[in-house]
Every structure is written in C-alpha cells, then in structure tokens.
Chain A
C-alpha cells in the first residue's frame, strides 16, 4: 500500500484573505507529498504563505479549497471530535513563540496533551518525565516558563509536542525567537528526534541553518511552490545559499 509512504499529502490548496478590497492569495494551489520519516523544511520570504500552509496541514484552519490528507485521511471529512483527536495524537505542534501555558510548570505543560489523550495522571507524569529527559531538561521539571530561558522553553515545547508519540511534528519558525547558538541546538535536537524516533518533521523557517539538516527543502513564494530541492542538491550549493532564495 502506498498508504505508508506519505504521511501528508496536499492537493490544490487555496486560501485567500480579504483585507478590505485587496485579496491576498496566501496559498495558491499547493500540491505537496511528504514522506514518512522525512525532515522537510518549508522556506520562503516573509508573507509567502508558510504559516498558512502550516495551519492547513495542522488542521488549525480550513483551506478555501483543495485537500489535506494525513495518513490517507481527508482532513475535511473529520468532525470536530475527530479533528481534536488528530491534533492530540497524530500531530505535535511547535511555535516560534513557544506557547507554553504560563500557569503551569514544564512537567505540567508536557503532561497536558496526555490528559487530553485520556492517559491516567501517573502514566502521564511518567511519560512527561521521559520526554523532558529526551530533550535534556530532566533537571527543570518544576520550573515555570518564566523561570526558563528561551531555548529551554522551546525544548519544553518540543517535549510537549512529542508527548503523545505523534507521527508528525509541525514547527513554525521554531528558531525564530532564539539566538544563533540556541537555534543550532534546537535544530540539532529536532534532527536527532527525527533520526531516533522516526518522527516526520515539517518546519516552516527563515533559518538557513535548517537547510543543512533537511532531507528536502520546499521553497515557496506567493503561495506557490517555487521549487523542491533534495538534500543532495542542497549540499552542492551550500556556498550560494543566499542566492538560492533569490532565484
């Protein structure tokens, strides 16, 4: 079955935003097949539609037309309950602004998705500690977000995204709010999780450091895919990366 080869497929995705008289075509026909276990980066200039694509793939917003298939399930066919189930179990989300709940400690934040998954408190805590250890934060379990550095907060967010063992991790500019070195650490961590756990990583980004670790890079511009590069091609053109975007 081809079912196993692709975790995500999109067909003819369109999304428009109306701002007064002006119509912005944020997505203008995106067809994209994403392989199971791959590390995919979505790059493009600001306003090119990366976040809109992120939202469509993640089931956070409905496209105007076109479809998104997750594990061969058409997302448009899901009712709210099934959609919540998908967000809970199949997809993990990571954001530029971390989006941890400020009222909760690191462990509580990470445990929350296990609560929504119906896990018992004890199992949830065990799992929480396990994933926090995986991201190297076993010594910060009971710290609140305000007591953590940006990089640590993003690690908590990554742990939280992994809590229910998703097959896909979606990240929208995960290094956007981090300094160079911390950003590199986060990228290395994502890559490691991708290799070790086999989780598919889809990351919208401006960050050229991301290109190095990606299996494929999708360049988008004005809501369309401008080109898709395989890892092999990218390594050849490393020197001219800045130029790659200009093409």
Chain B
C-alpha cells in the first residue's frame, strides 16, 4: 500500500514519451475513422482547389501583358478563398470532435493526464489529418491540371519548368495545409485541455 504524499512528488512527474501520445492519437483516429475521413477530405478539397489554381498559373497563357496578370490575380483570389473556406471547415469539425469527446478528456484527466498531454493529442491528430489531406489534395489538384492539359493537346507546356514549379508548389501546399489545420485546431485543443474534469465528465453525448 503506497500512501503517496503528493506535496513533494511532482519533480519526476510525467515525462510522457511522445510515442504514447502518437499511439493514443492513432487509435482515436481509427475508432472515429469516418469523422476523421470527413475532416481530412475537407482539407483535401481545399488544398486540391488551391493546388489546381497554382498549377494552372505555371502554364504559360497565350495572352500577353496585363491580361495575364489580371487572370493570375483572379486565380490567386480564388485560391485564398478556397483556403479560408477550408480553414473554417476544419475549425468546425475539430470543435465538433472535441465536444463528442469531453467525457474521454475528463476521464484521462482523472487518470493523471496533464493539460499539455491533451493538447498534444489534439495536435497530433490534427497534424496527421492535415498532412495526409494536404498531400492528397495537392496531388489531386495537380493531376487535374496535368490531365486537362494533356487532353487539350498541350503536352509541350508540361516541360521541365512546369515540373520544377510543381515540386515547389507541392511543398507550399503541404506547409500551408498543415499550418492551417494546426492553427484551426488551437481553439479546440485549448478548450478541451482547460475544462475542469467535473464539467467534462458531466457531459452526455
């Protein structure tokens, strides 16, 4: 029987290996696979649109001068709008997914989880969905551009320049998608972590 005196204990408290947090997050994504899939496809579609518009800009237009600039800035505006819509969508689905998990969060706190750990869980989950959503989203947008270009007989525009630009854009899409997902999940993660356990446990879903 250990009757722990809690007053001088915290020194060695809970340096949780990140691998444990990974493990728990992966399980949590798996059990809520459909929801995770929906969130991730929101990211995917947003990034696909973004990547599509960006890749189109890599293909030289036949117009000249100010017409090109105007066309490109219209495209960029659309791309930014797509990202914003996507951002709001992610924030919403993260908030939904935390509400349905209040009880689990409260339970983990009862078992000794720190707020930091709860935040970590949400970030890992969001990061994974953000990463895979962005990679696939970029690929989808890019493929649509390539395929339409090939179908309309413009194969020669898909030159080395295009592929080099695409590679940069792939990086860009993934960084933006990931960053956006993480930022969108901050309010959720913080809300989840700071809730007193009693309140979290009361919630019935």
Is B196 in the interface zone, CB < 8 Å from A?
A: yes
Rounded to whole angstroms, the CA-CA distance of A100 and B136 in the bound complex is: 34
Interface string of A102-146 (1 = CB under 8 A from B): 111000100011011110000000000000000000000000000
Q: Name B1-48 residues within 8 Å CB distance of A.
A: 1-7, 9-10, 12-16, 20, 24, 27-28, 30-32
Q: Is the pair B1, A198 in contact by a Cβ cutoff of 8 Å?
A: yes
**Bound CA span A95–B112, Å:** 16
User: CB within 8 Å of A: which residues of B?
Assistant: 1-7, 9-10, 12-16, 20, 24, 27-28, 30-32, 103-104, 106-115, 117, 196-199, 201
Is A167 a contact partner of B31 (Cβ separation < 8 A)? no
Q: Determine the chain A residues whose CB is within 8 A of the CB of B107 once the complex forms.
A: 95, 99, 101
Contact call A89/B112, Cβ cutoff below 8 A = yes
How many residues from A make CB contacts under 8 Å with B?
A: 45
Count A/B pairs, Cβ under 8 Å: 123
Can you list 28 A-B contacts with CB-CB less than 8 angstroms, sorted by A residue number? A4-B3, A60-B106, A60-B197, A61-B196, A61-B199, A62-B196, A71-B4, A78-B7, A81-B10, A81-B13, A86-B4, A87-B197, A88-B112, A89-B4, A90-B6, A97-B103, A103-B32, A104-B24, A104-B27, A108-B27, A112-B111, A115-B16, A115-B20, A116-B113, A117-B112, A160-B111, A165-B2, A197-B1
Q: Which residues from chain A contact B15 at a C-beta distance below 8 Å?
A: 118
Would you give the shortest CB distance from B158 to chain A, in whole angstroms? 45
Q: Is A199 in the interface zone, CB < 8 Å from B?
A: yes
Asked whether A73 and B5 contact (CB < 8 A) given A80-B114, A116-B14, the answer is yes
CA distance A90 to B112 in the complex (A): 10
Q: How many Å from the CB of A6 to the closest CB on chain B?
A: 11
Assess whether A95 is in contact with B111, with CB atoms less than 8 Å apart.
no
B1 engages A199 (CB within 8 Å) = yes
**A84 with B196, Cβ < 8 A, contacts A90-B4, A101-B107, A113-B112 known:** no
Contact B6 A71, beta carbon cutoff 8 Å: yes
Complex CA distance for A62 and B196, rounded to whole angstroms: 9
Chain B: interface secondary structure? Answer: helix
Chain A min CB distance to B112 (Å): 2
- The one of B5, B28, B32 in contact with A71, judged by C-beta atoms closer than 8 angstroms, is B5
In the assembly, what is the distance between CA of A237 and CA of B192, in Å? 47
- For residue B114, which residue of chain A has the nearest CB? A84
Distance in angstroms from B94 CB to nearest chain A CB is 17
Q: Does A44 contact B (CB under 8 A)?
A: no
Question: Which of A60, A62, A78, A118 is in CB contact (< 8 Å) with B6?
Answer: A78
Q: Shortest CB–CB separation between residue A245 and chain B, in angstroms?
A: 25
Closest to B200 in A: A60
CA of A7 to CA of B196 in the docked complex: distance in angstroms? Answer: 23
Q: Is A82 positioned at the interface, with any CB of B under 8 Å from its CB?
A: yes
- Contact between chains at A88 and B111 (CB < 8 Å): yes
User: B3 near A167 (CB under 8 angstroms)?
Assistant: yes
Q: When chains A and B are docked, how far (Å) is the Cα of A211 from the Cα of B106? A: 29
Q: How far is the CB of A3 from chain B (nearest CB, A)?
A: 9
A197 to B108, CA, bound (A): 24
Shortest beta-carbon distance, A71 to chain B, in Å?
6
